[in-house]
Structures are given as structure tokens and as C-alpha cells.
Chains A and B, each alone.
Chain A
Amino acid sequence: MDHLYLLIPALPLLGFIINITLGRGLIKGKAHLVAIPAVFLSWAAAMYTVAQVAGGTIVSRDFYTWIVSGGFSVSVGFLIDQLTAVMLVVVTTVSLLVHIYSTGYMRGDKGFYRFFAYLNLFTFSMLMLIMSNNFLQLYFGWEAVGLCSYFLIGFWYEKKSAADAGKKAFIVNRFGDFGFGLGVFMIFLAFGTLHYGPVFQSAPGVLAGKTVMLFGLSVPLATLISLLLFCGAVGKSAQLPLHIWLPDAMEGPTPVSALIHAATMVTAGVFMVARCNPIFSLSPLAMAVVGLTGAVTALFAATIALVQNDIKRIIAYSTISQLGYMFLACGVGAYGAGIFHLYTHAFFKALLFLGAGSVMHSMQGELDIQKMGGLKKYMPVTYWTFLAASLSISGIPGFAGFFSKDEILWKAYSAGGIGILLWGLGTLAALLTAFYSFRLFFLAFHGKFRGGHELEHHLHEAPKSMTVPLAILGIGAVAAGWVGLPSFIGDALGIGQPDKFGAFLSPVFVNVPGGAESAVSGEAMVTGLSVAVGLLGILIAAYMYMWKPETAKALKQKLPGIHKVLWNKYYVDELYNFIIVKPAFWTARNFIAGTSDGKVIEGVVNGVPRAIDSFGRKLRKLQTGMLQDYAAIMAFCIFAFIAAALVFWKAMGG
């Protein structure tokens, strides 16, 4: 049983190989019968391994040596500690549920086998990412999940928008990975290894006091490495300013949005920052950047979500926003709280997406919430589970999101200094979150159906294969948070160790400054305020979209400028198009390919092209096309050549 953990990534990989090679000709519509058992057994092995970790057995083992060159050596190896254990629970559980859901959702699609093959490949890649014991294998998983994301966003590749979105996701991520890669180089150069153990152990000693000159500035090495690594996280987890790919990624099938673009892949950035906490914690500046990026993104994305009408894009912006909370937590050193939110978010956000998928399934693919309404009576399971998820994300007490979001805001507040600012931004974003979540909820499920009679006729609840995963995730969206109660509630209930989650993770975050219980009081006050803004947001949404729908329109007319900016997502895409995409193509077409390679380089380097042209014309006259001619010319050239050499030889006194 010692090597059981190897099955966790190996089985989904095997499933992928079987489906991608045999799927098209042989397996076809039965691809799920390969993919689901593979993920189920992987899940079972993961649960066993997690139990082992809970019992104190940490796996840390090299599997084989991957690359060796000079003093550089890196292995494929596994580290399964408490942090990985949490990720294992999230990844295998959500993956399994999404696999099951997809049998219903993707039924009849001509790419059915391909879909399951990619889902398996994704699961494998994500597991390699979280189970790695070194930076290069992390990078392997990092790029591989990005590849699967590319495949799955562009799954319906006949659609130009889908193909564009997949490509955009890949390339935008490469911008982040560029920094991440340089960070990995710096780590190797500083530590002489890329394996987590020695790097993290010696980080305080190796990095202490070392600085790098960068554009005339003296930058601490720890700050530089942290910020470079964080570049990768900004790309992968869609934070400002690289968030632009995630809303477009909604072109992919909805189960993909739930698994990859909500619960797992996009959280890889948070996982990585938490994993690298011994490095980040050495740099207050980097921590501040992480926290601010997260808080600003949380608020920024929430404002965009206020006005969107595409059900999936609203949830996508809410994902960007919630990921911002996780980075906010990391930025104040509350890595455990960030991972806790990652864990609860996985359940309620996957649920929101799968619920949205169920709605789309019923609405014949319609995404515009303005054309929905009153779906409650047609889709009860979807309705109730969606409500649970919405309450959870809004931070209503008792639901999972409440506990994790509350912990983040409290940790930010109690950290003091910049933490107070982060707490303020986070609390404001919480208000907006509750509002847009319930705007979506009321518009879709309450009121009158606005999609026309034809469509209303088709409305129906999703099949069992889809509602059962919804129900299971619904339980998670409520109960997942109960393992991390705030201490004041624990005291009230008389529970000895209320924050079991934090205690479980604590060995991973040992040397985090300020990690100890803060002396600041007022947790109840902070909690009370965040609950209040959550309720307020829901009430405003109910007022504007259920009780007095005309107020929404009036507000839109009153503030056309703000609405326009938000509706156009602050014009970030347009900005990038203007400063990066267009200039690159313009340069390529007009300057480089047109002028320099065509005229300047050939002209400057030699007059060869023109000489060739005239030479060629003369040759054409000499009955060209005949082999003998070429051979004759060749022979002549060789002869001239040898003659020249001999002359030179003589001249040199040979």
C-alpha cells in the first residue's frame, strides 16, 4: 500500500490514453465507462492517502530523475502533506462529480469521447501539479492544465469565438508563465536545486540580506523571486491585469467551467503561493503586492459582474473576484484562510456553474438572464441547490462561504496596517458579491418567464446524472465550512478546537510571521459587519429585481456612463488590443516582413538576390530543367573551388 498514491495520477492518465487512442473508432459514446471508473478509483486512492496524511504519514519521495545536466538535476517526485491533502480532496471530488454530470450534459455530442479524454488528462495534470515535490514538475502540471484548458475552451472548435478564446487563454497565461519561469531560474541559481524540501528549509538563510540590482534599484532577492513566481499566479488565477482570459473561457462546455475555470485549475496560483510561503513570507513587499492585487481584483471583478447579463460570465467574474479574496488572505500571511476559501469555493462555485449548466440545458443553450425568469417551478433541484450556493458565496452564516470569507476578512483586519485597507476593500466587495449573486438568482428563478412561449414549453429539470452531482455539491456548499469555525463561535458552542481545518494545515505554515493568534479583539464585530453587508446586498437585489424591477432600469438610465464602463469591462481588452496585439502584427507585416527581411537585410548583407536573379535568367536560357546542366554547373563550381584553394595554398607558401 506504500505506493498506492501513484495510482492517484496514474489512473486518469490511463483513462486518457485509452480514450484518446480508442475513443474515435471503438469506444465512442461509452467513453464515460472508461473515464469515470478511472477518476472514481483515483478518488478512492486519494481519500485513503488523505486519511494517511491525517494520521501523520507524509509522503515525500522521488519517482525517477527527470533532467540532469551539469550541476542541475530534477526529479519527478511526490510530496503529499496537509496542503496537498486538501487539494486532493478538492480536485478528485469535484472532478468525479463533474465527470458524472457530464454524462448527462454532453450526451449526444459528437466529441463525447474527446471530452472525457480531455477531462481525464486534465485531472492527471492537476494532480501532478499539486502532488509535485519540486518546482519543475509543478511547472509541468501548470502548463499541462493550461493545455487542457486550451483544448476544452476550444472544444467546439468550429465556432470561431471558441477557438479564439482557447488561444487567448493559452497566450495570456504564457505572459504570466514567462515571469514564473524566470522565478524558477532564480530559485535554481540561488539554491542550486529546485526541490521544495531544501529550498524551503534553507530559504531564510540563503535569501537573507541578498539583493539584486535591477534597473538601478537594489531589490531584495526574496522579493524578486516572490514577485516573479506571483506573475505565474496572476496569469493562472486570472488576477489583474491578466484576468481577461477567464470570462472568454466560458466558451467551453459548462462542466469545464465548473471543474477547470472555477474549482481547480484557476486556484493553482493560490496553491502555489501557499506552497511557497517560506519564500513569500521573507518579503513584506511581495506580500503587500499579493494582498493588494487580490483585494483590488476582488472589488474590480465584482463591479463588472454587477451589470453583465450572460449567466456564465457573471459567475466567471465572481470567480475572479473570489480568487482575489484568496490572494488577499495570502497577502496578510493567512495562507490557511486562503486555502480554506479555496476549499469551500470549490464546492459552491462548481455548484453555481453546474446549476447554470442545468439552466442552459433546459433553456436550449440560452445564456441571457434577461430572457429567463420563474425557473423555480420548472427546476426545483436546480433552484434549491443554486440558492444554497448563492447564500454560501454571499457569506450568510451557516453556509460554507461564510466561514472562509469571514476568516479572511478577520485575519486581514487583525493584521493591521495595510490589512485594514485590504479588509475594507474585501468588505465592500462582499456587499457587491451578495448583490450580483442574487441579481442573477432573482432574474433567473423568480418573476415571470421572459423567454417566449416556445421555449417555456421545453423547460424541464435536468436528468438524474446532473441533479445528483448538484445535490452532493449542495451539501458541500452548506457543510464544507463547518470544519473551520471561528473561535468565538467555538467558544459559544463549547467546542475545544473549532478551527479543525486551520489546525490540520498548520504544519505547512510554520514560519509565517504573525500567524499566531492575534491580540486584536473584535472578531464578532468584523463578522457581524460582513454578515450585514451580505444581507444588505441580497435585500437590494431583491428590491431591484424582484419587488420593484423598474428601479433597475431607472438606475441604468440615471448612470449611463458608469453602466457603459462596467458593461464594457473597463475596456481592458480594447486596451491590450491597442497596445500589444495590433502593434505586434503591424510590426510583423509592415516593418519586419515587408521592409527589413525583404529589402534591408538581403540588400545589406550582400547583393545576392539580384545576382541570383540575373544568374537564374541566364541559366534559364541554357535549357534548364535538365539534370545534366545542373551537374555540369556543379562540377564547374567544384573545380573552380579546388583551383581557388590550390592557388591560396601556394600563396601561403604550402
Chain B
Amino acid sequence: MANFGYTAGYPVLSTLIFLPVIGAFAIGLIKKEKAGLIKVLSLITSLLVFAASVPLFIFFDKTTSNMQFVEWYSWIPPFNIDYHVGVDGISVLFVLLSTLVTILCVIISWNSVKDKVKEFYMALLLIEGAMVGVFCSVDFFLFYVFWEAMLIPMYLIIGVWGGPNRLYAAIKFFLYTLVGSVLMLVGIIALYLHAGRDFDIQHLANMKYPLSMQMWLFWAFFAAFAVKVPMFPVHTWLPDAHTEAPTAGSVILAAVLIKMGAYGFLRFSLPMFPDASRAMAMPMMVLSVIAIIYGGIVCLAQTDLKRLIAYSSVSHMGFVTLGIFALNVQGMEGGILQMLNHGIVTGALFLCVGIIYERTHSRQISDYGGAATVLPVYAGLFMLFTLAAIGLPGTNGFVGEFLILLGGFTANKAAGAIAATGIIIGAGYMLWLYQRMFFQSVNPKLEGFSDISAREFITLAPMAALVFWIGFYPDAFLSFLHPSVQAIINRVQPAAGGNAVADFLRLFA
């Protein structure tokens, strides 16, 4: 079996998966009284993992849709299960996002997590390993192991270190995800048997399945992925989970975890069930548009800061799925970029919420007001992420939303046009939130609080840099996507090839 994983002189992907696990075990050996040492070790681990992931960005070959940095070993031969990892243009960006976000989560939790410090950082590092594993797996069994493995520490982070209603939120998160996953497992097994006992994702993605089989498999996978995204109407676990989770939990959820649903559509549903995907594109676009509008309107009614941002995620992820199911190049690339953008921007917004919560211990928007006077630097950064969230040109949000709406509009004029009203609603709830928190006279409850510290600034700075980097030079990231997206398009739209211009001219001829 071929091993190309040593492009950078070491097995990059295995390092990214197992180094955090080793770190977690090492922390397990430390006495729990030594909280300082635990934190430092976590930070070092996460920094090392990130450093180890940088070669992915540098040495990635952007001219091919093939898996790269591949490591392939036989694992459980009787069942044809392999340890087979690799990244293509789509997954590589999310591996990098995972390794970056973990560092920020370690730093942001430095002072706010005081209870069971050891277990917290162990859980955090274990999540990191599992997240990377999910994005790298090229073997279905391996994928499923990581997919489920990720749930456990996440469940613990919400259920142990969360807010007052954490238990409800954690179980709800777990049950929703579990129900979806079970159906996916059924689908995986069906594929395995159909292919003659094969778990190889690349192999499975190049087979042809009868339409009826494609259809029910599409819905089985849909159950798992739609919950994760989350798509309307299975989104209700997200506001609870986000609201109750500690800051690091919310950041991981927003930045990486809910991306796995959309990633699942791209990696499995579209290439494996192209005919079903094409047939179901319209219902998917309808659900996406509903999520955009509905999620946005619900935001207008929120009084809880974290809940508002959670619902805005529903709206933003509606854009992502709209782009994906537009089934053309612009929509799909926009959708993937927007996954990254949402990870950066909403991740950063949750970091911001964590920063202010550490001071006020309140999530109620009405407990704020005039914060721009008290914490001007913080207010400036919050404004930047607000602008990125509402897709202002020059920020990353614009590039993603623009491509999605262009793709969505190309695929279906009505869907694109209705979805575009989401940008009006988005501006409405975000600017209103900003006004209530930062403008007008200073709420007495805020008086005397200090502006953000250097540590807090460090967590937000990389996100701010990414907002502008992607905003002004998106090619640095979009260029990773082109061949991989084209490969999916070729599979789903063999005839049209995703040529938007030709479609349009036919329509109006």
C-alpha cells in the first residue's frame, strides 16, 4: 500500500491525530493540583500540533483533486478495514482550522475554567485529535470511529463545564446527534455490503448505485449530516448546546463541529449519490432558504447573547447548504469558503462573548450597554467580527456569501433572491445587538471593567487577520478548492459541467 504521508519528512496527519492524544495522556499523568503545569502542557501540545499542520498549507499540491499526505495501513484485515488517512482540497482547510482553533480554546479557558482543570484540557485535546481524524479519514470505518469519538469529550465539555442548564443541553446534543448517526451507520453498512465488503471512501465514491438505493442512502446520511449542520428543522439542539457550553465548547462547536455536517454532504452524499443529490437539490435549497430567513428572524427576538449568535449560526449554515446544493462551482466553493468563514467569525464571536462573560457573568443583552466607552479595543474587535458576520465587502464573509448567492441565483432565481434578503435581516439583528451592547449610555453594571488583556487579544488577533486575509485575497484559500470541487461537480453534473453562463443563456434564449 502506498504511503505518501511523508511529504514533509514525517507522517503529518498521524501526528495531528495522535499528538493531541499523547498530550492528553501526559496530562492524565500529572497531579491535578498542578493546574499551571497542565495548562502549559496543553498549550505546548496545541502549539506543536498547529506547527505540525503548517506543512499541509505549504506543501499541498493545488493542481489535483487526489488525496494527499496519504498514510495507508491495513488495520483489521478480516473486515477490510484500513487505517487510511489523507486530505484533499476540501478537508485540508478544516484540518488547519481545527488545529488553530484548539490553541485559541486553550488560551481562552486559561482563567475561566477553574474546576476539574485536568479533565477539561484532556477532553479538549481528545476532541482535537478526533476532529482531525474525521476530516482525514478515507476509510468509512475509521471515519465513523472518529465521528463518534468526538461526541464523547464534547458531551462532557457541555455537561460538566457548562452553564446551569448544562445537563439538559448535553443530553439533547447527544441524543440528536446519536439518532442521526445511527441512521448513517446503517447507510455505511449497506454501502459496505453492496461494494463487496469495502470501506474505502474513494472507492465507494466512484461506484454506481441504483437510483432507489441512492435515494434511501441519501436520506440516511441526511439524518446524520442535517442534524450536525444543523439544518432547519432539526436545529433546536444547537441554541441549547451553545448557550450552556463553556466558551471553548461553543467555539469548537461553532468553528469545527457543525462544519462536519456540511463536510459530510460534500465528502459522501454528493459523490456517492449524485443522482439522488440532483433530484433532492430543490428540497435541500428550500430547507436552506428557510433556515436563512427563519434563523435570522428568530435572532430578532433573542435576549440572550449566546442564543442570538447560536441562531445566527443556523442562518449562516443555511447559506452554506444553499451553496452546496446549488450544485455549481461558485455555489459549492462559496459554501466551503463560508464554512471556513463561519468557523472564523462565529468562533471569534463566541470568544468575544467568553471574554465579556468572564467579567460580567451575564449573557443577558439587557445587562450591557455603552461597552464601547468602557472597553474600546474590545468593542473595535467585536465590530470587526460583526461586520464579517453580515458579509461586508473586504471581510471574509462577503466573498463566501457572494459566491453562494451567485451560485444559488444561477441554480434557482427565486431561491437566490429570497436567500439574499437574509443579508438585510442579518444586518438588522447584528447591528441591533451591537447597539444594545456597545452604544448608548454606560450600563452601571459595566463600570470599572478593564479592556481586554494581552492574552485575550492574542486569541482574537489570528481570527481578525484571517477575516482580512480571506476578504482581500481569498485566492489563498479558494485555490485549494478548485480541483476537488470540480471533481464533485463532474460527478454530480456530468452533463452541464456546472457552466453557469451557458445555463443562463439557455434560460433566456
Contact = CB atoms under 8 A, between A and B. Distances in A.
A67 B236 contact: no
Contacts of B330: 69-70, 72
B498 interface: yes
B106 to A, nearest CB: 20
Contact of A181 (B172, B333, B403, B420): B420
Interface in B430-471: 431-432, 435, 438-442
Interface stretch (A519-527, A535-543, A637-645): A637-645
A634 B155 CA distance: 9
B391 to A, nearest CB: 9
Contacts of B432: 167
B176 interface: yes
Contacts of B358: none
Given A67-B402, A70-B329, A597-B298, A171 B428 contact: yes
A154 B438 CA distance: 12
Contact of B236 (A182, A592, A602): A602
A182 B420 contact: yes
A299 B416 CA distance: 36
B347 to A, nearest CB: 23
Interface string A52-71: 00000000000011111111
Interface in A306-336: none
Contacts of A188: 406
A217 interface: no
Given A157-B372, A585-B300, A143 B189 contact: no
Contacts of A616: 167-168, 171
B167 A620 contact: yes
Interface string A598-627: 000110111011011101100110001101
B160 A627 contact: yes
Contacts of B152: 634, 638
B417 A182 contact: yes
Contacts of A631: 156
B300 A584 contact: yes
B487 interface: no
Contacts of B38: none
Nearest to B334: A69
Given A601-B236, A637-B178, A654-B189, A160 B171 contact: no
B28 interface: no
A210 interface: yes
A45 to B, nearest CB: 22
B172 A158 contact: no
Interface in A562-592: 584-585, 587-589, 592
Contacts of A144: 392-394
B388 to A, nearest CB: 12
Nearest to A185: B409
B411 to A, nearest CB: 11
A592 B297 contact: yes
B427 A170 contact: yes
Interface residues of B, number: 87
Contact of A630 (B155, B398, B420): B155
B205 interface: no
B424 A185 contact: no
A585 B424 CA distance: 14
B324 to A, nearest CB: 14
Interface string A136-150: 100110011001001
A interface secondary structure, majority: helix
B236 A605 contact: yes
Given A72-B330, A648-B189, A67 B301 contact: no
A376 interface: no
B500 interface: yes
Contacts of B410: 185, 189
A171 B431 contact: yes
Contact of A67 (B174, B403, B417): B403
B421 A170 contact: no
Contacts of A150: 431
A12 B423 CA distance: 29
Contact of A212 (B406, B416, B508): B508
B280 interface: no
B61 interface: no
Nearest to B401: A181
A174 interface: yes
Interface in B277-304: 294, 297-302
A373 B478 CA distance: 63
B202 interface: no
Contact of B171 (A143, A594, A615): A615
Nearest to B509: A210
A101 to B, nearest CB: 26
A144 B471 CA distance: 13
Contact of A221 (B148, B380, B406, B508): B508
A532 interface: no
Given A139-B393, A163-B440, A627-B116, A190 B498 contact: no
Interface string A546-560: 000000000000000
A627 B504 contact: no
A211 interface: yes
A638 B499 CA distance: 46
A174 B427 contact: yes
Contact of B300 (A65, A164, A588): A588
A157 B370 CA distance: 8
A581 B182 CA distance: 44
Contact of A587 (B168, B297, B441, B482): B297
Contacts of A140: 393-394, 398
Given A69-B333, A71-B500, A182-B416, 14 more contacts: A64-B473, A66-B472, A66-B475, A67-B399, A70-B333, A70-B486, A136-B402, A170-B427, A188-B406, A588-B300, A589-B301, A605-B234, A606-B179, A616-B167
29 contacts: A24-B376, A66-B474, A66-B475, A69-B330, A69-B334, A69-B482, A71-B499, A136-B393, A143-B392, A159-B440, A160-B440, A167-B435, A171-B424, A174-B424, A178-B421, A185-B409, A189-B500, A190-B508, A210-B508, A584-B297, A589-B300, A592-B298, A608-B176, A616-B167, A624-B167, A627-B116, A634-B155, A638-B148, A652-B193
